Every structure is written in structure tokens, then in C-alpha cells.
Chain A
Amino acid sequence: MTERQTAPADPEPPSTPSIVGDAVFVARGLTKVYRMGEVEVHALRGVDMELYAGELMVLLGPSGSGKSTLLNILGGLDVPTSGTVSYQDHDLTVLDDAALTRYRREHVGFVFQFYNLIPSLTARENVSLVTEIAADPMDPADALAIVGLGERLDHFPAQLSGGEQQRVAIARAIAKQPDVLLCDEPTGALDAATGIVVLEALERVNRELGTTTAVITHNAVIAKMADRVVTLSAGVIADERHNDRKTAARELSW
């Protein structure tokens, strides 16, 4: 079904988990070149990939391999230098800035490595920052309950631990009931135990709400909880595989 330059042939259709459906994203021939004065940095050098409805995909790769660049393009934060990305029927590469903004507002939930909570807003208010501009949001308190922070609604970020802050960020991302959840190194700034709690939250969202989820990490252990693992290396996809058996986040350790 797909042709990739570097991925090994994968004759079998994926042993699809029950909830995985059609491709939500289809990217073809994506390249991204950053120009910094004289120097050109080729962050992506021709990436083809899909993200399927309902799946939990892990994007693995060493630091600097282009993971964030790819995710940012999928999320409408950035545009590729060449190639195409479509989201459902829409070609993201032809959208102008305003349309990309609308696309993010309506469809995408983001979780960042450094949480990016607004320090002057409480947990609940941080979530409502997003629900206020969403078409069909959950109640912020419910979103926080899903990530296990039902008791900490009125705490400010400074009063929460790193793991808790990241869970607020996840609640904030899911509260608008996005079609896709894009997480860039969500455990990157956390210790293992705390990271696992955060991954559990993501796992739960993917399972219970059926949100299509992409998680970036450079930590190979985390790949075990994915339906599918795509490995990026120096701007190209080096490997793609399906997990026959997903490991529950709780059982991971590193």
C-alpha cells in the first residue's frame, strides 16, 4: 500500500487493533530545509508516512533527527519546504496562515516537552484557555479528572510537580476533543516514574476517547506501548513496524 525508500517491505496488513481505521494524515515526499544565514539544515529529506484513525503511533529517533519538525508540520505549526501533507481530505500545504490556525483550533491537540502551561492561570483555567475556543469541548474539570488531577483544579503551575504539570497539559490538549493529539517528548523533562504516569494518561485518552495520537520520543522503551512505531533518522524514515502486542504503560520501565 505504501512505498518507502528505506522502510523494509511489510507485506502483511497491520494486525490492526480494533479501533484503528483510515489514514488521518498522509504525508508524501516531505522535505524541510532551515536556512540559517549561509548554512542550510536539511531537517527532513523526503518523508512519506501516514497516521491512522484511532492509533497510537510513536515517532522514535535520536535528537536532531527531525521528529519535532515532522510533528510541527502535521500539526499545522510549520509548513514543509516541499512535499504534501493531507489531513483527511484537506491539503495542509496549500493552507494559508489563517486557515492553518483554524485547522489547529478545530482539530489538533498539542502536548509539549516543557508543558508550556500559562503560569498565571490555574490548572482549570489553563484547560479553559483551549475549551473557550473549541466547538464541542469537555468540561475542563472532566478533562482534568481523566488525567487524574480532579483534585488539583485550582492549583497554579508553580504549585504542581513536573508530572502533574504535564498531565494538565494533556488535559488541556484533550479537552477540546481533538481529532489528533500530537505530543512532542511529553516525558522528556520527567523522571521515569513520573513519565509513566503521564504515559498512562495518554494511553487512557487514546483508548477511552479513541483520539488518534502521535507521541515523539527518543526513548525506545516508550515505543512498546504504541500500535505502530516509526523511526526517523537524519530526516528520513529508517524503520516502521507494528507492535503485535502493546505493552501497557504501567509495565514500562527505564
Chain B
Amino acid sequence: MTALNRILFRDLWHMRSQALAIAVVMACGVATYVMSLSTLESLQQTRRTYYERYRFADVFTSLKRAPNALAPRLAQIPGVGQVQTRIVVDVTLDVAGLSEPAVGRIISLPHHGEPTLNRLHLRRGRQIDPTRRGEVLVSEAFADAHKLGPGDHVDAVINERLQQLNIVGVVLSPEYIFQIRGGEVLPDDKRFGVFWMSYDQLAPAYDLDGAFNNVTLRLMAGASQPEVIRQLDNLTRPYGGVGAYGRNDQVSHRYLSDEIKQLHNMGVIAPAIFLGVAAFLLNVVLGRIIQTQREQIAAIKAFGYTHVEVGVHYLKLALMIAGVGLVLGVIVGVWMGHNLAELYTQYYRFPVLQYRLNPGLIASVTLIATAAAAVGALGSVWRAAFLPPAEAMRPEPPSGYHATIVERLGLQRYVSAPARMVMRQIERRPWKAALSSLGIAMAVAVLVLGNFSVDALDYLMAFQFDTAQRQDMTVTFVEPTTGDAVYGVGHLPGVRHVEPFRAVPVRLRAGHYDRRVSIMGLVRSPDLFRLLDTHERVIELPPEGLVVSRKLADLLHVTPGQLVTVEVMEGQRPVRRVPVAALLEDFSGTNAYMRIDALQAFMHEGPTVSGAFITTDANRNDTLYRTLKRTPRVAGVTVKHAALESFRNTIAQNMLQMQFFNMLFACVIAIGVVYNTARVSLSERSRELATLRVLGFTRAEISSILLGELAIVTAVAIPVGLVIGYGLAALLAIGLDTEMYRIPLIIDRSTYGFAATTVIVASVISGLIVRRRLDRLDLIAALKSRE
């Protein structure tokens, strides 16, 4: 080993705790990068092969009833590769152990073997035998939620008749990687399950022999999806087609895409913060090292070492620290990636979620970490490389201090000598103090940002499910029916209050923008399902016209007062222009509301309803559930509290885990910054502090000089961090403003408190560590060492 490298290793060992603190900050950045992006790539890759191998469709549509003879005509649409027609129906389920009814979606399987599109992956059991009655395959998510397997059965109300579904196999489908019922906000594997049944058994039950009510298509390469959709809609319209959509509107696909997008954001933002802080720390620490080693550097250069050799020497120091962070970060990142992929298998059902680590990712993170370290080290390396050897032979002149603002204002009487030393130190190098503050502020911001999602979600849940929607259950009917049905529901056991609604699938057009939505017809002043704006004020529906989500208005580029064309997708399919009466700031979906009487008039129908919101007497729920399970007209019941609970159980747990990591990350940053700042000040001032000790100052007094500086830096950092955190949360809220969700910019006061407290505690801990060094300050050595 060369002497220079020996210096390198010994210096590194000498500064090991500082180096480690920096390496750990770096490692957090590397780890989040590796974790997010490797998981992202794994998800994407897995999804791609799954879609390919199991022939996930490109275009989806449902209709009322079309003869099988239509299928060949669909196949002739230019650009269509394969067509799969089928029957898809939602039924009410009675599952052992679940008192409330669940919704089952039954999809037909062609009687000759496998479907051409959206093929199933058999997890357990066997395929169905079409000759045996009632055999079904069940989605794994539902089977797992109820611990069901081959040999078990559930009861279903299939077209008004109770039928037993005998499970023979548990399967996965590329259509239901994420299993959620369209129109719902929360996934609920206990109360929504997908079943596959032989076409020959399903068709007669719904009077669909020789017919179908659902089509999926696969496009040929290069086909124009919008054009195919247009032609498909034309062909299916006479048969009650409700309008086709592509993968981007397919619920499971969209959730997964959103997840991938979020992983990508996390993989960019978090590493940027960590690596930025690490680069700053390298800059400070290396800068100090070069200052203390001025004479050493000068001597080395006097002996004939070149600029490059000296520069490279210090660059290596930075790179070795980065190297430790890199290795640590990659190991932790891969481990976390594995865990995250594992966690994903709870929500996203793939035949195998193969976690894979792309070597290119390691290469890119190595490059990024190296670049960050190099940027951090650049200034110091430059100074070392071009230090004029002759000049460095003379001791550095005392640093130029001057009187601070406080003193210029004549307030020094009120300030003790130690406090004055603290202030002058900060004033002498305001940039360093400011950057240290900024680093700590980032730790605060990370915490605010981490808890923001929890706060926002809490608020959103409370807003949506307590304040706005006060029903206990939502009952939907198989078909839009007359008002009598509402009357019937009102007389079910335990039902207290009933509020009918009418939902109509439509396509809204404005100019060349269009969107498929449902218009929700609500009673005049709803008590249960209330429309609220973001200030929780009740919005009154006008007698005419639509109230639409602000997001929907944005998508259609319309403002209140303008007309939109409403094309109804069911019944008589009326098409009319309707004014947008008002906008609604809401948090999920793209919704359109209308007074129920206005909607019925628009539809040229009598008092027709699609379902009802109800409140119930909780004591009699079991009886109610039992009745509902056997009520043929009822297609589904959504029990609000049950869905909420299951959501909280799963998501909340993961949120806690995320919160823990956020806290860990923030502490790493805070400790990394505070500890290094303190060590550098200690090194700069050990002589001065030792002198004070010799002059009779106590340990506590000199500690207060050193730690006072940190206290000020931290105190400044906290409000700044809270503001940055708020800003980042606002950015995140804008970034997450999608058709599916809008995140309210709600941050609890407790979040601010938590962020500030955590960072203060982290700062105090690092202060105490440095204070222990201060207590061991070697007075003689400090006084002897020449600066």
C-alpha cells in the first residue's frame, strides 16, 4: 500500500463516526432508490409477462344482450386481434361466517376449455367440469379472505334463485390483479369476490342462451384503440352497449399503474433529499479536514506530489465514504425491495411476483451516489489540489470575526461572552450555518411529508364516510325498478331511513373531450348521501342541470353555465344537452349529480330508482342481512363500516410501517447533520474551548458555547422545515390530483409537533454524543496543537 493510501485509511478510521453518519444518510438515499426502482421494475416486468402470457385484453365493454352472431362482426373491426365474448353478472352471496351479504361477480367460461383472453392461473384445485352442476373457480383474494378452498361452497342468489356454488379451484386473473368492485373507493376482499362458471350453466339463468353481455378484445400491434372503441361502440349500441374503454380505465390496471407511478416518485424524491444532504455533509466535513491538514498538504506538494495526486487523494476519501453508503444502501435496499414485493403480493395477485434486481439499477445508483459524493467533495478537493505549497507553510491567519448585529445595535450588555462567541461563529460563516439548518429542516420536512399522507387519509375517510355519507348501507337493485322497491326496502327489518337514488351510465361530451361516468340522481335535500364542498358545506342540488366534480369539469374543459352533451348508455338512450350548474370540490372519482326528478324526466321515465341508501338499527342487522341475502331484487349491499374496517386493518398497518421508516430516515438525516456540524465546530474550536477551560470556565459553560450554536441552527431549522414540509405536501397533493383521488392538503397540528419533537430529540442525542467528547477534551494537547 502506498503511503498516501495509508493516510487515507488512517484518516478515514480517525473520522469513522462522522464518516459513518454521512454514509448512513447516503445509504438511506441509495436504499430508497434501489427499493423503489427495483420493486417498480419487478412489478412492471411481472405485469408485462403476466398480461402477455395470460392474454390480458386491451378493450372492455359490457352490453345488455347480444346474440353470439355479433361476435364475428366484432372480430372484423380493423385492428382487432381476438375477441372474447362472455357473461358477467353481479350476484348477492351468502358466505359462511360473514353475516352481511357479499357481492360476487360471476364470469362465464366457454364450455370448450379455456377463454381466449384473460386466461386464468390455477392456484389450487382443478378446472371446472362443465357437466357437473354448480362448479365454480374462485379468485384467490376472496378465497384467502374467507379461508375457502376446493370442496367449500358459498350460496348465491342467481337471478332470483338461491344456488350453491361449489368451489373446485382457486385462480388468479390478469383482470383482477387488484380486486376491487368498480365504483367502490376501498378494496374489500371479504365482501367482493370473483367467480368463474361454465357458460352453459350461467346463460340459462339469465336468459342469455346463445348470447352474451360482455366483450373483451385484444388489439393487433399498431391498431388505433380509439378507432376500435368507436367502431365497437357503434356495433354494440343496438344491444345496450354502455361504451367501451381501454386498459387505462380498467380498474385493476389503473390501480397498479398508480402504484407504479408512486414508486417512481418515491424513487426520485427521497434519494434526491438524502443524497443532497449527504453531499452537503461531505462538503462540510471534508472542508474541515482540508483546513486542518493544510500544512500536511503543503508538505506533500513540496515533495513533488502533483495537483492531481493530491486532489484524487481527497476525492478518494469522499468516494470511500460514499462507497460504504452505497454498499450498505444496496444491501438494505434489496432487502426492503424484497419485503415490499412481498407486501405487494397481499394486494396485487400475480402468479409469481418475481423480485428481480436489474444490474443496470446497481450501475445507475453507483453512478448517482458517486456523482453526489463528487459534487459534495468538489470544493474541498479543488482547494486541496490547488493549495499553493509555499503559502500553506505559514500558519493560517486568525479568522476574521467582527461584531455581530446584536453588538452593532449596542445590545452586547445583555449578552454573555459565551453567547457572543456563539453568535459571532454563526455570523462569520452564515452559509455554513444556513446549510446545516437546511439539512435539519429537510429532516423535519420528511417527517411532515410522511405524516401528511396519514392525516390526509384520516381526514378523507372521515369526510367521505362520516360527514358526507351518513348511510349505514347502500342497497343496489339488479335493474332500475319502480319506487315500490324503495318502499319494500323501507319495510325490511331494522331499516330506519331510506333514501333512493338513480344512477345512469352516460358519456359526457364537451367539444372534443368526453368522459364515461354515471349521473347520480339524488333526492332534493338528502339526509344520508350529502354533497359537501371542501369546506364541508352542504351543496344544494339545483332543480335542473348537473353538479360535477371539479376534476371532471377540468377534464371536459367546461365551466359552470356551459352545456355538456349527455349520452345515456341504457334504456332509450336519450341524448341531450344539459347545463353544468355548479362544480363540486370532492376527493374521489369524477362524479356528476342531478336532482332525481330531473334525471327521471331526462330519462322519460317514471319514479325509477337504482338503489337506496339506508340507515339501520344495528341490533337487528343480522336479521336484515339474512333477509337481504335472500332478496332476489337486490344485486348488492355495501356495508360502510365493514368496508372501512377492513381497509383500516390492512392499509393502516402498512401506513404504520411507512411512518416508522419515515421516522428512521428523518432521524438519520437529523443526527447526520447535527452530529457532523457539532464535530466540525468542535474541531475548529477545541483550542479555543480548551483555553477557556484553562482560564477556569466549567465544562457546562464551554459546552453551552458549542451546543448553543447547534441549538440555534436547530431552532431555525424547525419552522423552516415545517414550511418546506407543507410545501412538499402541497406538491404531493398536486401530483396526486388524479381522476381516482384528490388528496386534501390537511396537516394535523400533531404532525407538526411530532416532526419538531423527533428532530429535537435527534439533535439532543447527537449533541450529547459530542458533549461527551468535549468532556474528554485534552487541555494540554489542544493547547499544544498548532493551527
Q: Name A residues whose Cβ lies closer than 8 Å to a Cβ of B.
A: 68, 72, 75, 77-78, 97-98, 101-106, 108, 110, 112, 114, 116-121, 125-126, 128-130, 132-133, 172, 184
A116 close to B295 (CB less than 8 A): yes
A105 close to B303 (CB less than 8 A): yes
B393 to chain A: which residues have CB within 8 Å?
A: 68, 72, 77, 112, 116, 184
* A184 to B299 alpha-carbon distance, docked (Å): 12
Contact of B390 among A77, A117, A126 (CB under 8 A): A77
Most B-side CB within 10 Å, residue of A98, A104, A120, A130: A120
Q: List 11 A-B contacts (CB under 8 A).
A: A77-B388, A78-B390, A108-B304, A112-B299, A112-B302, A118-B299, A121-B3, A125-B3, A129-B4, A132-B3, A172-B303
Contact of B295 among A75, A98, A114 (CB under 8 A): A114
B14 to chain A: which residues have CB within 8 Å?
A: 120
* A5 to B5 alpha-carbon distance, docked (Å): 50
Is B7 located at the chain interface by the 8 A CB criterion? yes
- A72-B390, A112-B393, A132-B2 given as contacts; is B7 within 8 A of A118 (CB)? yes
B429 to chain A: which residues have CB within 8 Å?
A: none
Is B660 located at the chain interface by the 8 A CB criterion? no
Most B-side CB within 10 Å, residue of A101, A102, A108, A172: A101
| B600 CB, nearest partner CB in chain A, Å | 88
B interface majority secondary structure? helix
| A19 CB, nearest partner CB in chain B, Å | 25
A120 to chain B: which residues have CB within 8 Å?
A: 6-7, 10-11, 14
Q: Name B residues whose Cβ lies closer than 8 Å to a Cβ of A.
A: 2-4, 6-7, 10-11, 14, 295-296, 298-307, 388-390, 393, 786
B303 close to A129 (CB less than 8 A): yes
**Given A101-B304, A101-B305, A129-B4, 10 other A-B contacts at CB below 8 A?**
A75-B302, A77-B390, A103-B304, A118-B3, A120-B6, A121-B10, A130-B303, A130-B304, A132-B3, A132-B4
| A192 CB, nearest partner CB in chain B, Å | 20
Most A-side CB within 10 Å, residue of B295, B304, B307: B304
Contact of B7 among A77, A106, A121 (CB under 8 A): A121
* A150 to B598 alpha-carbon distance, docked (Å): 106
CB nearest neighbor in A for B300:
A129
Contact of B3 among A101, A129, A184 (CB under 8 A): A129
A117 to chain B: which residues have CB within 8 Å?
A: 299
* A77 to B301 alpha-carbon distance, docked (Å): 9
B302 close to A110 (CB less than 8 A): yes
* A102 to B301 alpha-carbon distance, docked (Å): 10
CB nearest neighbor in A for B3:
A129
B296 to chain A: which residues have CB within 8 Å?
A: 116, 118-119
CB nearest neighbor in B for A77:
B390
* A118 to B10 alpha-carbon distance, docked (Å): 11
A75 to chain B: which residues have CB within 8 Å?
A: 302
CB nearest neighbor in A for B304:
A105
A98 to chain B: which residues have CB within 8 Å?
A: 306
B306 to chain A: which residues have CB within 8 Å?
A: 98, 101
CB nearest neighbor in A for B2:
A132
Closest 5 CB pairs of A and B: A105-B304, A116-B299, A120-B10, A129-B3, A77-B390
B303 to chain A: which residues have CB within 8 Å?
A: 104-105, 110, 129-130, 133, 172
CB nearest neighbor in A for B306:
A101
CB nearest neighbor in A for B305:
A133
| A117 CB, nearest partner CB in chain B, Å | 8
A68 to chain B: which residues have CB within 8 Å?
A: 393
| B309 CB, nearest partner CB in chain A, Å | 8
| B391 CB, nearest partner CB in chain A, Å | 8
CB nearest neighbor in A for B295:
A116
A101 close to B301 (CB less than 8 A): yes
* A110 to B14 alpha-carbon distance, docked (Å): 27
A102 to chain B: which residues have CB within 8 Å?
A: 304
- A72-B390, A78-B390, A98-B306 given as contacts; is B3 within 8 A of A128 (CB)? yes
B300 to chain A: which residues have CB within 8 Å?
A: 118, 129
* A118 to B2 alpha-carbon distance, docked (Å): 14
| B306 CB, nearest partner CB in chain A, Å | 5
Most A-side CB within 10 Å, residue of B302, B388, B393: B302
* A104 to B300 alpha-carbon distance, docked (Å): 11
* A132 to B300 alpha-carbon distance, docked (Å): 12
* A105 to B393 alpha-carbon distance, docked (Å): 18
